[in-house]
Amino acid sequence: MARIRFVQQDGAENVIEVGSGVSVMLAAVRNGVAGIEGECGGCLDCATCHVYVDESQVDGLPPPQPDELELLGARPDMAS
């Protein structure tokens, strides 16, 4: 199982354990994490699930998929 730590703007934290194959968005929605609505159902359309990954953890993630990069390219502040 993976552990995901959600940190709200006010510093409040919520740690959730999720099984393999469960998206961060789906884990958040299923566990009532504030601020992540997932209205698009994970289609990269509503932009409520954008996250910032701790730089020390970035190397452990797969590279972004083309559709993810395309979405971020539409937001100049998030493309880097």
What pLDDT sits at residue 38? 79
pTM of the entire structure? 0.63
pLDDT at 74: 62
Residues 23, 52: Cα–Cα separation, whole Å: 15
The number of beta carbons lying within 10 Å of the beta carbon of residue 12 is 9
Domain ranges of the chain: 2-78
Distance (Å, rounded) from C-alpha 21 to C-alpha 24? 9
Give me the tens of pLDDT residue by residue for the chain, a chain 80 residues long.
889 999 888 999 999 999 988 888 889 989 999 888 878 777 767 766 667 788 898 898 888 888 878 877 765 455 44
CATH code of the domain occupying 2-78: 3.10.20.30
DSSP secondary structure code for residue 65 in this structure: P
